[in-house]
Amino acid sequence: TRRVIVDTDTAGDDTQAILLGALSGAVELELLTIVAGNVEFDYQVENAKYTLELAGVADEVPVYEGARRPLVKEFEHVDHVHGAGGLGGELFPDTGIESAEGYGPDAIVEAVRESPGELTLVCIGPLTNIALALRREPRLGELVEEVVVMGGAVNTLGNDTPSAEFNFWVDPDAAKVVMRELDVTLLDWGLTMRQATLESDELEPIEEAETPYADFFDEITAHLREFSEERFGSDATTQPDSLAMATVIEPDLVEEAPRYHVDVDEREGLTRGYSMVDELGITDGEARTRVVESIDEARFKTIFTDMLLHGDP
């Protein structure tokens, strides 16, 4: 089993990624850290705890609160995408579970120092906590097994602005630090659109099922599906964060992942958060990022639906 730290702005699809990690026998969730992103911070903390509780692991997986705002930029969250609170607009969990004591980035540093080479970071929100951890522990990259990041829009349109994917847009300064200083496996928005999108017909079995996970999925995606219909002309649901977790559960999912030099535009303006991927090797930047270009889509969808239907990804 792989030991995993999940850094998350828990709303919508983050919950599904956490469920995958919690329910898969291939992964052991070590701890969660929460980062400013999708919705108001305190909702995200509760959403994460609720999700762990649903999976029956709330006692085993501590939740640490991390950065409540990006490194430099002003903070804006996106209630309009996931619904108020981040779980579809009607569910506002109040678990009564205490957060773990300590600051998220510190918890990451302490955990990787305790188990050098053994932990994988699955980063499914803006990269603020990871950049802060890196500043506290410059050897972070040497101390982890792998850093998996959902973010960026590789030579394609972004979802937050035409130039940028949401996680990179929210904290482009942090994304820049992380892409420059760590060897990352990157799963971007374009790959999500191509291969980690469940169409309406694929969602039917989930809608019909009455398992707790399938019901939870229906509840949290209702609002997002309406939003997607408006913005993208389709009510299919995208699963970027679950895709990141699935590649940790089953590394063979990844079919093509060449290494490229990746940098991020941190400047305010039209290209804030733009992920520059040097596919042609034009710059002299180091090609250190594993950019996942294709995955076994059918297998990913099976893992995902097995989780929702049988609680067993």
Q: What is the 3-state secondary structure (H, E, C) of 22-64?
A: HHCCCEEEEEEEECCCCCCHHHHHHHHHHHHHHCCCCCCCCEE
Tell which one of 165, 171, 173, 266 touches ligand BDR (CB under 6 A).
165
In the complex, minimum distance from the CB of residue 10 to Ca ion, in angstroms, rounded to a whole number: 8
Number of residues lying near ligand BDR (CB under 6 A):
14
The reply on whether position 152 binds Ca ion by CB under 5 A is: no
Q: Which of residues 187-226 bind ligand BDR (CB under 6 A)?
A: 189
Q: Which is nearer to Ca ion, 38 or 289 (CB)?
A: 38
Query: Does an H or E element contain 185, and which?
Result: strand 184-187
In the complex, minimum distance from the CB of residue 35 to ligand BDR, in angstroms, rounded to a whole number: 10
Reduce the DSSP state of residue 47 to 3 states and report it. Answer: helix
Stretch that binds ligand BDR, among 61-69, 87-95, 161-169, 303-311 (CB under 6 A): 161-169
Quickly count: other Cβ atoms within 10 Å of residue 127's Cβ.
Answer: 34
Cα gap 204→192, rounded to integer Å: 20
Q: Which of residues 91-110 bind ligand BDR (CB under 6 A)?
A: none
User: Tokens at residue 10, please?
Assistant: 């828990």
Binding pattern for the stretch 234-263 against ligand BDR, x by CB under 6 A and - elsewhere: ------xx----------------------
The reply on whether position 186 binds Ca ion by CB under 5 A is: no
Stretch that binds ligand BDR, among 97-105, 113-121, 163-171, 178-186 (CB under 6 A): 163-171
Exposed, middle or buried, 129 (CB in 10 Å: 0-12/13-18/19+)?
buried
Binding pattern for the stretch 108-147 against ligand BDR, x by CB under 6 A and - elsewhere: ----------------xx----------------------
Quickly count: other Cβ atoms within 10 Å of residue 137's Cβ.
Answer: 18
Exposure string for 143-163, b = 16+ CB within 10 A, e = fewer: bbbbbbbbbbbbebebbbbeb
The torsion angle over the Cα atoms of residues 51, 177, 188 and 245, rounded to 10 degrees, is -30
The reply on whether position 14 binds ligand BDR by CB under 6 A is: yes
Contact indicator for 33, 105 with CB cutoff of 8 Å: yes
Query: Does an H or E element contain 290, and which?
Result: strand 289-291
The reply on whether position 125 binds Ca ion by CB under 5 A is: yes
User: Tokens at residue 277, please?
Assistant: 């991927």
Contact indicator for 147, 121 with CB cutoff of 8 Å: yes
Cα gap 130→67, rounded to integer Å: 10
Binding partner of residue 189 among ligand BDR, Ca ion, none, CB cut-off 5 to 8 Å per kind: ligand BDR
Quickly count: other Cβ atoms within 10 Å of residue 268's Cβ.
Answer: 11
Tell which one of 7, 14, 165, 173 touches Ca ion (CB under 5 A).
14
Binding pattern for the stretch 63-92 against ligand BDR, x by CB under 6 A and - elsewhere: ------------------------------
The reply on whether position 15 binds ligand BDR by CB under 6 A is: no
Binding partner of residue 195 among ligand BDR, Ca ion, none, CB cut-off 5 to 8 Å per kind: none
Look at the block and give the residue holding tokens 């969660």.
32
Binding pattern for the stretch 216-245 against Ca ion, x by CB under 5 A and - elsewhere: -------------------------x----
The reply on whether position 38 binds ligand BDR by CB under 6 A is: yes
In the complex, minimum distance from the CB of residue 188 to ligand BDR, in angstroms, rounded to a whole number: 9
User: Tokens at residue 235, please?
Assistant: 């009510």
Residues engaged in binding ligand BDR (CB under 6 A): 12-14, 38, 124-125, 150, 159, 165-167, 189, 240-241
